[in-house]
Structures are given as C-alpha cells and as structure tokens.
Structure 1
Amino acid sequence: MAKQSSLNASIKPLLHPKHWLSWVGLGGAVAISHLPWGCQRVIGKSFGSLMYKAAGRRRHIAQVNLEICYPSWTQDQRDTLVKQHFQSMGIGFFETLCSWFRSPKMFAKQTTFVDHGVVEKLLSQNKGCILIGGHFSSLDLCGTLLAGHIPVHPVYKLQSNPVINWAMEHKRNRVYEKTIERTNMREVIKSLKNNRIVWYAVDQDYGRRHSVFAPFFNRECATIAHVGRIIKMTGAPVMAFNYARTETGYSLTLEEVKDFPADDEVAAATLMNQLMEGFIASKKEQYFWTHRRFKTQQDPNAPSPYRPK
C-alpha cells in the first residue's frame, strides 16, 4: 500500500505548537535561498566543512564507502575526497533550497541540456520511458532544471519531518507535472501508460526484500530490483540521466540505454550499477558517499561494514 502523501491533506495538524520550530527553520531557509548564487556556493562550502568536523557518523560512513570502492587509494586520498564531498553537500543544501523557493529561470543561462533527440525517439514508442539516475549533491536543483525541458515524473521518498515533507511535496508539485511516492506502483504504471517519463534514482540500498545482488565497484551490493521488473512488464524503453554541478553552472545529459536486460534481474542491476560508476567517475566529490550503500550484506550473518572500528 502506498504511503500517504501530504498533497491532499489538511495543513491544520502542522500548525500545532510542536511544529513551530520547524516552521521557523523553514522560514529561515526561504530567506537564505535568496542570497546571490555565488555567495551561496561560498557559504555552502564552508557549511560543508563545518559538517565534516561535526558529523562523525556520516564522515565514518563516507570513509568506509571509499575504502570499499577505492581500495588502492592512500588514506590521504580518501580523506581529501571525504572533505570535498562534505563541501559539495554543503553547496547542495543551498541548491535544494533554491529548487524549492526560487524560480528555475534564474539558472537557465548557466545550464546546458543535451539529449541528442533521444526523448522524442523513445516516447514515439508510446510506452512511456524509465529514466535512471543516481544521488548527487545537486539532485534537487538539477531535477528542477530537467523538468524545464521534459515532463518527467520523479519517484521520491517521504521525509520524516512532516513540515519539511509538506514543503518538499508542495514545492515539487509546482515544478513537476506529477510526482510519485516510491511505494505507489499504481501511479508508476499509470504514468508509463500515459507515455510519460518516470525517473528513478537506483543507487540506494532498499533492503534484501526489494533487491538483488550485483557488483558495484567490484563489491556485491544490494541493488533495487523492481525497476527492471517494471521495464519487463511494460516494455518501456530506458534513458540514463547524467547531471552535474560545473564551475559555471549545471550540466544535464540524457542518453538512451540500449538492450536493457529486463529478463535477467542480476544483469539489469549490474548494468545500472555500471551506469552509476560511470557517472561518479567525473565528479566523485558530488556523489552521496554518506549513504550506507553496502549496509545489506550478501551473507545475512556478516557484520555491517559500517560498524565502529
């Protein structure tokens, strides 16, 4: 059963005094989202450096991920990338606020969009399309910018804070033609039948029940399986979404994924992981290294790699 969205729910319960601090924080977020873009990058980088020092658990997760993915690197190389990652995430925090509270038009001149006609080509099949992407620090802003070029329907996860979740859902609802809560398979199928593009970020660990194991940086990794099942069931063609923050703005690139192996769940997961590795290669610091990508072990009795040493 799909989880309850706040889009059609009353805001009254969120006006209770227990939520006032969240509303104050949200008001502050609106204010700082209107700082000049260059200023946001400078402050965001400093904020990320502060979080690097304060967020010991997340720093440990990032370090473990890099030990798994880049075993030949020196410790100094990994430490440098972790610091750069936190700075990138600090900038990403401001970009998320801009995606919620600013017009995407302010970034239009700083954004390059390349699709080589693939969107028109794949939608001409009238089966909709699955768009595969990953989690990078400019996710929210680049998603908003993408919506200015194609009618994409992103699949998302509800937030635990109800006020933040309300703001997120309502702001995204203004940008996207439609958003889909990740457990709502009915709406995913409906969007594909209506020849729309459904966007999945496929690089998180959803647990053993929803995954198959496939190599990610040469380590067997729990990888979401139902994306391949949807493609097999609907015959929807597949695109890959590669996006990045650049020195001067943002880059959005769409490419066709040919011969997607939907009949083989492990082969499908392997291909998706290979796509993610390719995306990460050119912008390692922007990837979400603070996610516990390897938390579900192939051996259920094996200890978590993120346990304290």
Structure 2
Amino acid sequence: MSSAPTARLSLAMCHPRYWPLWAGLGLLWLLVQLPYRWQMALGRKLGRLSMLLLKRRVQIARRNLQLAMPELDDAARERLLVANFESVGCAVFETGIAWYWPDQRLRRIMHIQGDEHVREAVAGGEGMLLLSCHFMTLELNARMFGILHPGVGVYRPNDNPVMEYAQVRGRTRSNKCLLDRGDIKGMIKALRKGEALWYAPDHDYGRHASVFVPFFAVEQSATITGTATLARVKNAVVLPCYTLRLPQGGYKLVIGAPLQNFPTGDDIADATRSNQVIEAAVRQAPEQYMWLHRRFKTRPRKGDPSLY
C-alpha cells in the first residue's frame, strides 16, 4: 500500500483559482462548530432549497424511487423524495463533521451495534471486507468505524488538488490510508495483512466486471463482482457496515455478522447476495440513501432503451 495517497499541501494550491474552494472549506469548518441540532435544521432547509437548483438530480431520484419501490403510491414516493433531499442537505454538514470534529465530540453522538464482530475478526487475525453502500452518511461511516478500529478506505481520487487534499486529509483522520478504487492489488494486500477495508459496490459502474442481478424491484441491475473477488482472499471475512442517522439525533454505526457461505464461486449468486444485504440496509432508512445516482443506467443489452 505504498502507493496510497497522502494529504500534502503545495504552493500550487495557493493559486487564485482555488480561493473559492478554500473559502468554501473554511465556511464548512465554521458551520460545523454550531450546535449539532442547528446543523441538521439548516441541512434540511438546504436540502429543500437544492431541489429548486438541482432539477436534473430531482428527476433522477424520482425515477429511481419509481423503479425501485413500485409498491409505493405517488404521494408516498414524493414524501420520500423530499425527505431524501433533506438528507442531501444534512450530508453537507455531516461531511464537515466527519472531516473536522475531534474524536471526543463525535463519540457523544455515535452509537455502535455489532462491534463484537470486529473484535472477533481482530482476535482471529482476519482481514475485514466492510460491505457498505452509498448512504448520505458514508463520510461519517468511515470516520466512526475508524474511531472503533482504523482501517483502509476505497475512493475515487479528485482531479482538483485542493479537493483531493481535503478529502484525503478528512477521510484519514481516524483511518490508515485510502486506495484508488481501481487498485485491486492494493485491496487484496490490505486484506491479507488483516486490515479492515471499506468497500461500497452498490453504484452502477458499467458492464466491465459486472453481472445483471436484482436490486430492489429492478430485476436486471448492473452489479460489480468485486465483492466476491475480494471475499476470496484467504482468512478474510465480509461484514456488512453502514451508518444510520437516528430520528432523535446522532448516529448508529451498524456492523453485521460475517456473511456465511460467501462467496460461492457463482458470480450471479454472489452479486445477488451482496445486493440483498445492501437492500436490507437501505430499507431501514431509504430517505438516507443516495438515490441521486443513475443506479440503473446500464442495460442488459446495448440496444435496450434507457430507464431514464
């Protein structure tokens, strides 16, 4: 993992073209010094405002909810859509909390369920593949797990050097390092060394290394096979891991029991199982999931009409 990115400042980052981004990061730092409940109230208002500004994302999220949850009537889906964008606004503040709050303050609003599974894996010298997903609380998920047990994150590097510096510094505040999502060898090496590796396979990454299996009500959803590939590493366990925002305030870090009989060697069965685990997590708080992504954009056949 010697190629893992590090958070380093450079003179080039002082160029005037980066000043607005520096100002935005500074404003975020200031805002997350406010009382937590104020932040969530502001976040919900920001999320509702974003619906007026991000109309294309509203359309995508609405369509995703139609495809994924046809059992809901239109009124129920619209309520869920609004709640989802309120969660988008809260996620802005939660990113700042994850990147800037000290451990002591964060511990006061975090609750952990299933930490015994981590202790058992550590005692057995096992690598932990943390099967996660794109909840709006994903930044807090990585930070909170790192407070419990520092691990390794998987991410997409940012082309903007200031944003790259900010996210690497923020995401490694309580964790060891980050790996490019394309660095499969680095991920395997981390698991072999007994590390905890955060991994979210729930987005649509195209046809490469993917199979088409059910996800919610969409019977053929492009799903990468990387979860099973990494789970084949000797002496590694797969632990479902996600963070939920609690109605009364604060967060619950959920760590599930190791998946049994996984992987099976059948890509279809293994990808289906992975999606089932993720779907079960999302159904606990669907308004907190990242429905803004075109999850069902890749069709089984190239000539099939777009679902969007």
TM superposition score normalised by structure 1: 0.92
What code does the residue aligned with 1:222 have? A
Report whether the alignment pairs 1:296 with 2:298. Answer: yes
Task: Say what the alpha-carbon RMSD is for the aligned residues.
Answer: 1.9
Residue pairs, 1:15-26, within 5 angstroms: 15-26=14-25
Report whether the alignment pairs 1:207 with 2:209. Answer: no
Q: Do 2:150 and 2:174's aligned partners in 1 also have CA atoms closer than 8 Å?
A: no
**Counterpart position of 1:283:** 285
Using the alignment, how far apart are the partners of 2:124 and 2:5 within structure 1?
Answer: 34
Secondary structure at 1:295's aligned position in 2? coil
Report whether the alignment pairs 1:109 with 2:108. Answer: yes
1:190-227 deviation line (CA, Å, top 9, x unaligned): 21121111110121111111311111013211112122
Post-superposition offset of 1:12? 2.1
**Counterpart position of 1:227:** 227
Q: Do 1:6 and 1:165's aligned partners in 2 also have CA atoms closer than 8 Å?
A: no
Post-superposition offset of 1:160? 4.1
Q: 1:168 to 1:304 in 2, by over 3 A?
A: same
What code does the residue aligned with 2:279 have? E
What code does the residue aligned with 1:137 have? M
Using the alignment, how far apart are the partners of 1:116 and 1:154 within structure 2?
Answer: 18
Q: 1:275 to 1:134 in 2, by over 3 A?
A: same
What code does the residue aligned with 2:295 have? R
Secondary structure at 1:155's aligned position in 2? strand
Tell me the number of residue pairs that the alignment of Structure 1 and Structure 2 aligns.
304
What code does the residue aligned with 1:98 have? I
1:156-215 deviation line (CA, Å, top 9, x unaligned): 122343312211102222321222221122321221121111110121111111311111
TM superposition score normalised by structure 2: 0.92
**Counterpart position of 2:270:** 268
Post-superposition offset of 1:9? 5.7
What code does the residue aligned with 2:97 have? C
What code does the residue aligned with 1:252 have? L
What code does the residue aligned with 1:30 have? W
Using the alignment, how far apart are the partners of 1:186 and 1:24 within structure 2?
Answer: 37
What code does the residue aligned with 2:223 have? T
Q: 1:295 to 1:85 in 2, by over 3 A?
A: same
Q: Do 1:231 and 1:262's aligned partners in 2 also have CA atoms closer than 8 Å?
A: no
Report whether the alignment pairs 1:181 with 2:173. Answer: no
Post-superposition offset of 1:124? 4.1
Among residues 279, 302, 307, which one is paired with 1:305 in the alignment?
A: 307
Report whether the alignment pairs 1:253 with 2:254. Answer: yes
Q: Do 1:6 and 1:166's aligned partners in 2 also have CA atoms closer than 8 Å?
A: no
Residue pairs, 1:1-309, within 5 angstroms: 7=6, 11-115=10-114, 117-219=116-218, 220-246=220-246, 247-255=248-256, 256-306=258-308
**Deviation larger for 53-62 or 247-256:** 247-256
Using the alignment, how far apart are the partners of 1:146 and 1:115 within structure 2?
Answer: 11
Using the alignment, how far apart are the partners of 1:161 and 1:67 within structure 2?
Answer: 35
Secondary structure at 1:112's aligned position in 2? strand
Using the alignment, how far apart are the partners of 1:41 and 1:17 within structure 2?
Answer: 32
Post-superposition offset of 1:47? 0.1
**Deviation larger for 123-132 or 205-214:** 123-132
Using the alignment, how far apart are the partners of 2:193 and 2:71 within structure 1?
Answer: 47
Q: Do 1:62 and 1:289's aligned partners in 2 also have CA atoms closer than 8 Å?
A: yes
What code does the residue aligned with 2:49 have? L
Q: Do 1:122 and 1:237's aligned partners in 2 also have CA atoms closer than 8 Å?
A: yes
Q: Do 1:45 and 1:88's aligned partners in 2 also have CA atoms closer than 8 Å?
A: yes
Post-superposition offset of 1:105? 2.0
> For structure 1, which runs of at least 5 residues remain unmatched after alignment?
none
> For structure 2, which runs of at least 5 residues remain unmatched after alignment?
none
Using the alignment, how far apart are the partners of 2:108 and 2:7 within structure 1?
Answer: 35
1:4-34 deviation line (CA, Å, top 9, x unaligned): 8752665222222221221122221211121
**Deviation larger for 267-276 or 234-243:** 234-243
